[in-house]
Amino acid sequence: MAGGHDDAARHNDERGTATKVVHLGRDPQRFDGFVNTPVVRGSTVLSASYDDLVHHRGRYSYGRRGNPTTEGLETALKALEGSDGVALTPSGLSACSIALLSVLGAGDHLLMVDTAYRPTRTFCDQVLARMGVKTSYYDPLAGADIADFIRPDTRAIFLEAPGSQSFEMQDVPAIAAVAREREITTLIDNTWATPLFFRPHAFGVDISIQAGTKYIGGHADLNLGTISAVGAAWKKVIATHGTMGITISPDDAALGARGLRTLAVRLERHQRSGIEMAQWLQDRPEVSRVLHPALPSDPGHALWKRDFSGASGLFSLILKEVPERAVAAFFDALTLFGMGYSWGGYESLAIPFDCRDYRTATPWDVEGPAVRLHIGLEDVADLKADLDRAFAALRAAA
């Protein structure tokens, strides 16, 4: 695992982000000049001598505990996050669950944002509840008022910004400051922004989680989770991750590293196309409003502008009221936008959603059907033409 204190230089790395994602966590000379770290398959690691064995002198000790392929990805992510270490998990959801298990125990209380990724909520309500951890949900707009929800047994606060599907922004530093004062651990699901557009640890958050499945992978061919942490939280994460036996395949680590090399250039394009599509959609007669924090009209825009350095390609829109058959006609007319959930790949996606299905602390009371879009790397003119056709089908069926 990429922990330790050997990297003071990396914390002060002044190079640009695109340069960093290309060069971090690679050492071609170590592998006979090959640009990419090899896929190292291995369970058994041999020691050169009895002395090395009993004094644990090897750089690696046991397949499950890491190899050059996983270590390279961990090292790169650790430097990007600016943390004390990064642990890899087999999916984004397992990154959320392992991180929560690392910092919570029987009798503890968790404050979970009401706009969290739904399966993370299910983990809290079903598994954590069985372990004796109580979860209560809070309004994403709480900010420093989070103090009002903190109980004597509150041990962790979980954030996700912008909110899953509905894109509310959170005042991350305000919540982190309140938590820090009370020695409560903060965790954030930072999948939407990635550490390229938002660096949670710089805003006081202890644990930063990503579904690497999304933008790190970037090609819809990988499930990966990353848990980055600082200080005491890192010690807890790596202990729980290790004792639970969590490990990922070297092939998946290599795919994650390959995705990382182009992350800056892909995100730049997702951002530009996403904002252009969001602006275009705002002016469509079929659309009531667009939920995208980079739009100046968005209620979360000021927080986004203050804390984030970019926006990715995922946002939502609320259609004007139409019958369900018109919504169905809209989706069935799409040819470039695929109907699928796991976003962050090179392709555009569209799904319907309804937050009333799961929210408990805040109302979701919108004027029409809600649609989430992922803007991929296609030409924007073609994406507009695809939505144009879909809107024509919607109007014809309304």
- The amino acid at residue 57 is R
What b/e readout covers 94-125, taking b as 16+ CB neighbours within 10 angstroms?
Answer: bbbbbbbbbbbeeebbbbbbbbbbeebbebbe
Residue nearer to ligand PLP on the CB measure, 258 or 395 = 258
Please tell me whether residue 191 binds ligand PLP under the rule CB under 6 A.
Answer: yes
Which position among 69, 75, 170, 213 is part of the footprint of ligand PLP (CB under 6 A)? 213
Residue nearest to ligand PLP (CB): 92
Closest by CA position to 320, among listed 273, 355, 282 = 282
Q: What is the DSSP string of 132-155?
A: T-EEEEE-TT-GGGGGGG--TTEE
- The amino acid at residue 298 is D
Which position among 164, 166, 228, 312 is part of the footprint of ligand PLP (CB under 6 A)? 164
- The amino acid at residue 12 is N
Which position among 47, 136, 279, 342 is part of the footprint of ligand PLP (CB under 6 A)? 342
Residue nearer to ligand PLP on the CB measure, 37 or 223 = 223
Tell me the C-alpha distance between 357 and 328, whole Å.
19
Q: How many residues of this chain interact with ligand PLP, rule: CB under 6 A? A: 14
Residue nearer to ligand PLP on the CB measure, 279 or 342 = 342
In the region spanning residues 250 to 279, those forming contacts with ligand PLP, defined by CB under 6 A, are: none
Segment holding 325, helix H or strand E: helix 324-333
Please tell me whether residue 223 binds ligand PLP under the rule CB under 6 A.
Answer: yes
Task: Please list the active-site residues.
Answer: 64, 117, 189, 214
Please tell me whether residue 93 binds ligand PLP under the rule CB under 6 A.
Answer: yes
What DSSP character marks residue 65? G
Tell me the C-alpha distance between 275 and 221, whole Å.
25
**Interface segment toward ligand PLP; rule CB under 6 A; list 23-31, 209-217, 232-240, 350-358:** 209-217
Residue nearer to ligand PLP on the CB measure, 161 or 383 = 161
**Which residues of this protein are in contact with ligand PLP, per CB under 6 A?**
91-93, 96, 117, 164, 189, 191, 211, 213-214, 223, 225, 342
